Structure 1
Amino acid sequence: MNSVDPNEQKLRRALTTPLLTLYGLGVTVGAGIYVLVGATADIAGPFAALSFVVAALVVSLTALSYAELATRFPVSAGEAAYVEAGFRKNWMAVFVGLAVAASGVISASAVAIGAASYLHALTGFAIPILTISVVLIMGLIALWGITESVFIAAVITIIEIAGLLFVIGWGMSIQDPQGYGISSMLPPLELDAWRGIFAASLLAFFAFVGFEDMANVAEEVKDPVRTIPKAILLTLVLATVLYLGTSMTVLLVVPIDVLSTSAAPLALVFSNAPEVIKQGFSAVAIVATVNGVLIQMIMASRVIYGLADRDHLPKVLAIVPKSTQTPVVATLLVVAIIVLLTQTIPIGTLAERTSQIVLGVFVLVNISLIQLKMQPDEAAKHFRVPIVVPILGVITSALLFGSGFL
């Protein structure tokens, strides 16, 4: 096994707690919440908002495992490094690293097509041309530098969050809401109600996928032992509060029969708003999807760089020019694959499998932490969680993984 020395890193440690938190929120609070509220309402009815809370509790277990592992091994290709240390098998590290990179590339491809579809509605340009343009522009930003690219992603994330806060503010100000009253969103102690909540929480879980991307920029984080756990927990808490507020607002304002069949549920809050507000919110939705392309691109390129830097992939992929201090060759490869996927493969089926790839990785990462915790810990200072956390992380992730095949 190749040892990991954080002092040998070539990437620039530039990310602070606010920047890393905004990076995490940029992945987590993205297209998911903009489309998932309707689907969760279709399953859980008036109790859909609670399904996001259940999902957050499940996700928090694996998030805490990531917080410890990312401070033990603050390097790129985080999951690969964790699995390599836990299982002591190089092939497993390569498999997990490539799975994580694949999930990022597939997700970015699907999101790029979505962004192009929104843009097509506004501009009338052909979707293939718009898709390639989105990918290339985001690729140039990713090549520019980690501080610059994450700063741009952070600005977009703030716009994205402002859009959700606007939904909540506008919805709460509507005089005659057509949905459920707040009191009817609290479930009774009945099996059927909770069965619906737990079924919807499997869907809501996918709105939280993204926090693990923070582990893959760990090599570019200032003071990772203090910064990473704070940023991961802040991301989850803020995302949960936003999801709860947004879903409750939509359930309050929009009739359930309309909401449960809509692919753009948040836009329904503005159905009686002036045209300028409708168009403004559409622009925010486009920005939200474009942000997902940039952040997944950054993540996938860092995983490939990290694998190459530890001799698991060709060394050329670990080249980092001093001018940008970003993995240029790895980023160009990621951009090329995304362009190819968007133009040649129906991305829907692949995108559905992205979440299952992530859950499979979660299981292996939690098992790795259990194995590491059963060995003597010679590390200096790092964040620690009780061993019950990764054990519960394995169980919950495995249950969610299996449910996807039912």
Structure 2
Amino acid sequence: MSNAPDSASELGSQAPNAIEATGKPKLRRALTTPMVVLYGLGVTIGAGIYVLVGTTAAEAGQFAPIAFLMAALVVAFTAFSYAELSTRYPVSAGEAAYVEAGFKRGWLATIVGLLVAASGMVSASAVAIGAGSYLHEFWAVSEAFLTACVVIVMGLIALWGITQSVTIAAVITVIEISGLVFVMYWGFSAPDPKGVSILETLTPSELGHWVGIGSASVLAFFAFVGFEDMANVAEEVKDPKATMPKAIFWTLILATVLYIGTTIAVLVAVPIPTLSASSAPLSLVFVEAGDRTKQVFGLIAVVATVNGVLIQMIMASRVIYGLADRNHLPAILSKVSPSTQTPIVATLAVTAMILLLSLALPIEALAERTSQIVLVVFILVNLALIRLKLNGQRVEGTVHAPLVVPILGVVTSAGLLMISIA
């Protein structure tokens, strides 16, 4: 067990230049604000809206957009906490560093880091299954085989290099956002809509509706898993103090707008029973479209879900690397390739675990477990920030959230966790 750092400056001293004196290859600071925003949007959008609109509609029915809005509100408080903490401690395995600084417990930091890595691997497994489902529409081979191919190829890209990996992810993210805009256009302009009206998606009037919305918000919360992943690449950001808060907020705002607009468009165009039974829900909007339109969107959906796998791989491998680099895990996991400057052993381990999970568990179970793991991490991260603030620790040049923000982050995250367990 390592000793916990006493201040932000001690953790912050683990910048690459300070550590490179040991002669050990370190991660490269190469990411700018647009790249980090696209990184966050890539994992958030790919992991959620392309895969889980159907299962969310199965719980909340026509009020699925409200479930997404509720999930966004829960995430917002914790996003402010991450904005402050990621500027205090711009290192890999960010959540583990935050908890270690707040609680002064190395063992607790290790647990949190492993939970974060687990959430990324489980999330990537769920999205890989979705990718396999979309690919199956093009190739009549086993979905399990297609899922395995997606995981292996994304693992190879993740090994290539952080700049190359995030650049590829950024290009894919622009494509997947275009796909959502396409869905909204097609759904709202359908000449013969078979779903509900826009007004019907926004007016829950009975208690039973809110029970379903609350339950669905746990699944919808999974769709927002991603903004916190940006904290785990902070060690590879050129100017983390300036970049991280802006990137976190823009990711959350843009994802929320895209989610609500897309969900309403799909509910207008597709009957809820049909939607809730599909593992490739957005493609249903184009059932009556021409073959070329279906094929174009099918390719966009494949690209979007594949992107989610890649970015979660990057995140999870950086968490494992960060824990090993700070002596919480075996040193072999902190090995960095001198040529690509990527954590090679950690990336291989993460790829193998994602492959195993994606072939062993169904998508609904994976999504729910991811949400629960992330909610536990959110509670601990917010508690860590509360402790830091009560101890009077303040770092100049960083974002500062009022004390009420992490308190509300604990309350909202705990409430959603209780709903998911009940």
Q: Same fold (TM over 0.5)?
A: yes
- Correspondence for 1:390: 406
Does the 8 A contact of 2:133 with 2:279 survive in 1?
no
- Correspondence for 1:34: 50
Query: Aligned to 2:98, which of 76, 79, 82?
Result: 82
- Correspondence for 2:135: 119
Taking structure 1 as reference, are residues 125 and 253 closer, same or farther at Cα in structure 2, changes over 3 Å only? closer
**AA aligned opposite 1:15:** L
- Correspondence for 1:91: 107
Cα offset for 1:129? 4.2
**Using the alignment, how far apart are the partners of 2:362 and 2:120 within structure 1?**
13
- Correspondence for 2:384: 368
**Using the alignment, how far apart are the partners of 1:300 and 1:351 within structure 2?**
16
**AA aligned opposite 1:380:** E
**Using the alignment, how far apart are the partners of 2:55 and 2:131 within structure 1?**
20
1:154-198 per-residue CA deviation (whole Å, 9 max, x = no partner) reads: 111111111110001112222232322233333266544444443
Taking structure 1 as reference, are residues 318 and 56 closer, same or farther at Cα in structure 2, changes over 3 Å only? same
Query: Aligned to 2:416, which of 396, 400, 403?
Result: 400
Q: Residue 279 in 1 paired to residue 295 in 2?
A: yes
- Correspondence for 2:32: 16
**Using the alignment, how far apart are the partners of 1:244 and 1:327 within structure 2?**
36
1:101-139 per-residue CA deviation (whole Å, 9 max, x = no partner) reads: 122122223333432343344223444543343222211
- Equivalent positions of 1:206-285 (< 5 A) are 206-285=222-301
1:266-305 per-residue CA deviation (whole Å, 9 max, x = no partner) reads: 2221111001111221222211221111111101110011
Taking structure 1 as reference, are residues 218 and 48 closer, same or farther at Cα in structure 2, changes over 3 Å only? same
- Correspondence for 1:292: 308
Cα offset for 1:55? 1.6
**Using the alignment, how far apart are the partners of 2:155 and 2:50 within structure 1?**
24
Does the 8 A contact of 2:218 with 2:368 survive in 1?
no
**Using the alignment, how far apart are the partners of 1:206 and 1:335 within structure 2?**
20
Cα offset for 1:234? 0.3
* Mean Cα deviation higher: 125-134 or 330-339: 125-134
Q: Residue 321 in 1 paired to residue 337 in 2?
A: yes
Does the 8 A contact of 1:187 with 1:194 survive in 2?
no
Does the 8 A contact of 1:34 with 1:265 survive in 2?
yes
Taking structure 1 as reference, are residues 172 and 110 closer, same or farther at Cα in structure 2, changes over 3 Å only? closer
TM-score, normalising length: structure 1: 0.93
Taking structure 1 as reference, are residues 257 and 329 closer, same or farther at Cα in structure 2, changes over 3 Å only? closer
- Correspondence for 1:346: 361
Does the 8 A contact of 2:86 with 2:234 survive in 1?
yes
> Unpaired segments of 5 or more residues in structure 1?
none
Task: Give me the identity figure in percent.
Answer: 64
- Correspondence for 1:59: 75
- Correspondence for 2:123: 107
Q: CA RMSD in A?
A: 2.1
**Using the alignment, how far apart are the partners of 2:397 and 2:340 within structure 1?**
31
Taking structure 1 as reference, are residues 14 and 64 closer, same or farther at Cα in structure 2, changes over 3 Å only? same
Aligned residues: 405
Does the 8 A contact of 2:222 with 2:367 survive in 1?
no
**Using the alignment, how far apart are the partners of 1:395 and 1:65 within structure 2?**
13
**Using the alignment, how far apart are the partners of 1:300 and 1:405 within structure 2?**
25
Taking structure 1 as reference, are residues 163 and 379 closer, same or farther at Cα in structure 2, changes over 3 Å only? same
- Correspondence for 1:163: 179
TM-score, normalising length: structure 2: 0.90
Cα offset for 1:365? 0.6
**AA aligned opposite 1:297:** M
**AA aligned opposite 1:312:** H
Taking structure 1 as reference, are residues 173 and 135 closer, same or farther at Cα in structure 2, changes over 3 Å only? same
**Using the alignment, how far apart are the partners of 1:322 and 1:188 within structure 2?**
57
**Using the alignment, how far apart are the partners of 1:45 and 1:132 within structure 2?**
32
- Correspondence for 2:23: none
> Unpaired segments of 5 or more residues in structure 2?
20-25
**AA aligned opposite 2:392:** P
**Using the alignment, how far apart are the partners of 2:318 and 2:97 within structure 1?**
13
**AA aligned opposite 2:217:** S
Q: Residue 356 in 1 paired to residue 372 in 2?
A: yes
**Using the alignment, how far apart are the partners of 1:35 and 1:236 within structure 2?**
18
Query: Aligned to 2:64, which of 48, 59, 67?
Result: 48
SS in 1 for 2:30: coil
Does the 8 A contact of 1:6 with 1:73 survive in 2?
no
**AA aligned opposite 2:32:** T
